[in-house]
Amino acid sequence: MKIHAEFIKKWFKNEINIEILIKKLTDIGFESFLDQGIVNISIPTNRHDCKNLYGIINELSKFYDLKNNKNENIYKTFKNEVKIYIKEKTFCPFYSIVHIKNINNQIEIPNEIKNHLNLNNIKSSNFIIDILNYSTLITGQPLHAYDKDKIGQKIIINKTNKNISIKSINENNILIKKNSFIINDDKNNIISIPGVIGSAYAKIDKNTKNIIIESAYFKDNLIKQAEKKLKITTLASDFFKNTINEKNIIDSLNYAVNLIKFFQSCEISEIIKKKYIKYLPKKRHITVKKNYLSKFTKLDANNINLESIFKNSNINFKENKYSWKFEIPQNRKDLTIKENIISEIIKFYGYNKIIEIPTRNYNTLISKTYYKTKSNENKIINYLTSNGFYEIITYSFVEKNVEKLIAPENNLIDLINPISENNNVLRNNLLQGLIKTFKLNSNKYNEEIKLFEIGNIYNKYKKKIITEKHIALILAEPDDIHENLNNSTFYILKNIIENIYKKLYNIPYLTFNNTNSQYLDKNISAEISIKKKKIGEIGLLDKKLIDIFSLKQYMYFATLKLNLKNSRNIYSKELSKYPKIKRDISIITDKNIKFFNIKEYIKTLNIKNLKDITFINTYDIDKRKSISIRLTYQSKIKTLTDKTINSKTFFIIDSIKNQFNADFKI
């Protein structure tokens, strides 16, 4: 809600500092700020009763004295001949009207009123409509006016017995279904859909001279139903469906009439009304025990002066030694339980007056799974940052057109209502965010860029959505894309992955196999698994991605599942006090023979005291390749002799020769 600061000041007896007023409003739950002389007030969604100035002023009346703005009924220059008939009393238990003659609807609306309407996004229409809309914004009671010359002598609140089509005051065709509430005159013309919108039949225009102004109570849930049926929401229906205060009905009518009278001379009838108390909402009461309030707030209930808190309020209460009983106004739908009342009390009493009391120690044990997961994650972050990788965080939703290149389209999860086409699907892979971030930085930042992200990815599998936590890394070849590819970057990345798994999960042997990845180069990529279970991928980005993103460097990427269940416990092993002895051998073999094949084969030979088989280097020789391997021997019981080691080494060599048709040099 927006109100001119000068306007709001007029409602109070004494001079008001607007900044202090704004602070007070904010403190009681109506966040406000001043912007170029206009107070902007945020009304909480549960306080419809404050979507009008009276409501706000009422809240502030705890702090400031109000001017006496009583609306007196000063008219009755002629008798109101119009009769009210309420056939649907449950729907409309209270209905009142006033008749105004000889009105000039062409006079200019005063600026103050026009400004207030504009501020609250209500378009100016004509004098009468503007006054009524303005009155609604001030009092919270919607008013409606009919052109008296167009309607009969009776106003009947009724229900239709068939489907009827009408034109509304804004010239739209509306189908009113059978058994819907209507207001019609004695000629059976529908003059309005009560509480929602008027019909064009009785519409006020610039030439209107005589009007009937209606102020009524319509049942909130029935107005809500009408809104839904008709698919219309208006200023009036918004107020009615959130319950108005029946006590305000006549007062607000007086307010509007006084306002009209202030600006022009016209004849005004008495107000006639029909009220069926039996059908009005019953009074509600909420009892709050004093010891409950004390327990809830740790305040002494006897020290709280409710008289001052509820002064000028619509909330009456009775007090006894042990409790208070509160009578709740109809339009305070936010007050339904005792905690709501406590909230009302404390907000004026002041939360800052409540002391602090320590909670007890809950001695909550840290779950082992949580600790392991979290500590591993922290170690990964530390390890990667110390190796020059920056941690990034990107959005969980990405561009579908790109994600389709990375994962099968069937696996992607669409957002029904994305915020943009660049973010219309949940990410199936961390790659897209990493590439885009890389690109942004490579334009600004000339140094080597290495990035990683830890986050969830989402996969559709048999109609279910599977969420998994992954880590992904990206780094670029140092040289331009037009230079020759240097595969060493692949092995740098591979080493990082192996270190993470070796140190954190105590899994020393990851398996690297060929992969069918859609987004990695077929010759420079691998699927990573542990005991035949896939945990990730590593490789050079496929050319199509490099083209799509117009990348200037070759990019290497690795992605891995976190939260492994098969990490191993670490135990200390007895160390040998005897020296390690190394033998380096070079194997010349076909290019399709991999280091892993040779290593695994050597293991099958079960050579005693062979502790380690490590890779030294590889290079091409004509159509074959040379792989240099270091064999490390160590015994727990003695120093191994040259003779022993040589014999084992030669055995290994002979075996490899036969197995792989290889040649050797030592």
Partner 1 sequence: MKNYNIEKILNNFLSDIQNTKNLSEVNEIKIKYLGRKGLINEECKNIIKIPEEYRKEYGIKINEIKNRIILDILEKEKKSHEFKKNEKIDITLPGINKTYASQHIISKTLEEIEYFFLASGFEVLKSKEIENEYYNFDALNINKEHPSRSKNETFYLTDKLLLRTHTSNMQIHTLKKKKPPISAISYGKVFRRDSDASHTPMFHQLEGFIVDKNISIAHLKFTISKFLTFFFNRNIKINMRSSYFPFTEPSMEVDIQCIACLGKKCNLCKQTGWIEVLGCGMIHPKVLKNCSINNNIYTGLAFGLGIERLSMIKYKINDIRLLFENNIAFLNQF
Binding residues for partner 1 restricted to 406-435, rule: CB under 8 A: 413-419, 423, 426
> To 10 degrees, what angle do helices 488-504 and 368-386 make?
150
Tell whether residue 370 is a contact of partner 1 (CB under 8 A).
yes
Long-range contacts of 289-293 (CB under 8 A, 24+ apart): 289/322, 289/323, 289/338, 290/322, 290/323, 290/324, 291/322, 292/338, 293/342, 293/345
Exposure string of 422-443, with b = 16+ CB inside 10 Å and e = fewer, is ebbbbbbbbbbbbbbbbeeebe
| Angle ∠(591,541,516) on CA atoms, nearest 5 | 65
Whole-angstrom distance, CA of residue 418 vs CA of residue 29: 32
Give min distance, CB of 59 to partner 1, in A. Answer: 10
Could you tell me the maximum CA-CA distance found in the chain, to the nearest angstrom? Answer: 131
644 vs 481, 622, 641, CA distance in Å?
A: 51, 35, 5
Give min distance, CB of 473 to partner 1, in A. Answer: 12
Cβ contact 199:190 at 8 Å: yes
Site string for partner 1, 371-390 (x = CB under 8 A): ---x---x--xx-xxxxxxx
Whole-angstrom distance, CA of residue 52 vs CA of residue 40: 13
Residue 577's nearest CA partner among 490, 508, 503, 639 is 639
Tell whether residue 298 is a contact of partner 1 (CB under 8 A).
yes
Cβ contact 320:329 at 8 Å: no
Give min distance, CB of 387 to partner 1, in A. Answer: 8
447, 480, 547, 622: which one binds partner 1 (CB under 8 A)? 447
Tell whether residue 486 is a contact of partner 1 (CB under 8 A).
no
276, 279, 395, 664: which one binds partner 1 (CB under 8 A)? 395
Whichever of 69 and 378 has its CB closer to partner 1, that residue is: 378
Whichever of 385 and 597 has its CB closer to partner 1, that residue is: 385
Cβ contact 155:97 at 8 Å: yes
The beta-strand segments (E) located in 310-375 are 316-319, 323-328
Residue 552's nearest CA partner among 399, 471, 449 is 449
Whole-angstrom distance, CA of residue 105 vs CA of residue 158: 30
Residue 563's nearest CA partner among 422, 425, 455 is 455
Tell whether residue 445 is a contact of partner 1 (CB under 8 A).
yes
Tell whether residue 343 is a contact of partner 1 (CB under 8 A).
yes
456, 486, 513, 514: which one binds partner 1 (CB under 8 A)? 456
Give min distance, CB of 363 to partner 1, in A. Answer: 6
Whichever of 201 and 458 has its CB closer to partner 1, that residue is: 458
Give min distance, CB of 124 to partner 1, in A. Answer: 27
Give min distance, CB of 6 to partner 1, in A. Answer: 20
Cα-trace Rg, the chain: 41
Whichever of 190 and 474 has its CB closer to partner 1, that residue is: 474
20, 354, 492, 605: which one binds partner 1 (CB under 8 A)? 354
5, 7, 12, 27: which one binds partner 1 (CB under 8 A)? 27
The beta-strand segments (E) located in 218-322 are 267-268, 272-275, 284-289, 316-319
Tell whether residue 346 is a contact of partner 1 (CB under 8 A).
yes
Whichever of 133 and 297 has its CB closer to partner 1, that residue is: 297
**Which part of the chain contacts partner 1 (CB under 8 A), choosing from 130-138, 318-326, 394-402, 616-624?**
394-402
Number of residues that bind partner 1 (CB under 8 A): 81
Cβ contact 435:474 at 8 Å: yes
67, 178, 187, 295: which one binds partner 1 (CB under 8 A)? 295
Exposure of 536 in the CB half-sphere (CA atoms within 13 A): 24
Residue 5's nearest CA partner among 52, 37, 27 is 37
Tell whether residue 26 is a contact of partner 1 (CB under 8 A).
yes
36, 45, 410, 592: which one binds partner 1 (CB under 8 A)? 45
Whole-angstrom distance, CA of residue 427 vs CA of residue 394: 10
Using CB under 8 A as the binding rule, the residues of this chain from 514 to 533 that contact partner 1 are none
Q: How far is residue 608 CA from its own chain's centroid?
A: 63
Tell whether residue 448 is a contact of partner 1 (CB under 8 A).
yes
173, 307, 320, 355: which one binds partner 1 (CB under 8 A)? 355
Exposure of 402 in the CB half-sphere (CA atoms within 13 A): 23
Cβ contact 152:187 at 8 Å: yes
Give min distance, CB of 275 to partner 1, in A. Answer: 29
**Which part of the chain contacts partner 1 (CB under 8 A), choosing from 48-56, 94-102, 116-124, 438-446?**
438-446
Backbone angles phi, psi at 423, to 5 degrees: -140, 55
Give min distance, CB of 49 to partner 1, in A. Answer: 13
Give min distance, CB of 123 to partner 1, in A. Answer: 23
397, 505, 512, 519: which one binds partner 1 (CB under 8 A)? 397
Using CB under 8 A as the binding rule, the residues of this chain from 216 to 245 that contact partner 1 are none
Tell whether residue 356 is a contact of partner 1 (CB under 8 A).
yes
Tell whether residue 362 is a contact of partner 1 (CB under 8 A).
yes
Token representation of residue 85: 């008939």
Cβ contact 210:103 at 8 Å: yes
Whichever of 34 and 621 has its CB closer to partner 1, that residue is: 34
Backbone angles phi, psi at 340, to 5 degrees: -65, -40
296, 549, 595, 650: which one binds partner 1 (CB under 8 A)? 296
Whichever of 97 and 223 has its CB closer to partner 1, that residue is: 223
Q: How far is residue 183 CA from its own chain's centroid?
A: 42
Whichever of 4 and 347 has its CB closer to partner 1, that residue is: 347
Tell whether residue 367 is a contact of partner 1 (CB under 8 A).
yes
Using CB under 8 A as the binding rule, the residues of this chain from 302 to 341 that contact partner 1 are 337, 339-340
| Angle ∠(219,223,227) on CA atoms, nearest 5 | 175
Whichever of 252 and 432 has its CB closer to partner 1, that residue is: 432
Give min distance, CB of 293 to partner 1, in A. Answer: 10
Tell whether residue 492 is a contact of partner 1 (CB under 8 A).
no
Tell whether residue 36 is a contact of partner 1 (CB under 8 A).
no
Whichever of 148 and 427 has its CB closer to partner 1, that residue is: 427
**Which part of the chain contacts partner 1 (CB under 8 A), choosing from 314-322, 351-359, 496-504, 632-640?**
351-359
196, 449, 504, 510: which one binds partner 1 (CB under 8 A)? 449
Q: How far is residue 128 CA from its own chain's centroid?
A: 42
Tell whether residue 85 is a contact of partner 1 (CB under 8 A).
no
Whole-angstrom distance, CA of residue 527 vs CA of residue 510: 10
Whichever of 127 and 240 has its CB closer to partner 1, that residue is: 240
Tell whether residue 28 is a contact of partner 1 (CB under 8 A).
yes
Give min distance, CB of 340 to partner 1, in A. Answer: 6
Token representation of residue 421: 């086409």
Whichever of 277 and 366 has its CB closer to partner 1, that residue is: 366
Total residues found in the chain within this entry:
666
361, 523, 592, 606: which one binds partner 1 (CB under 8 A)? 361
DSSP SS3 for 326: strand
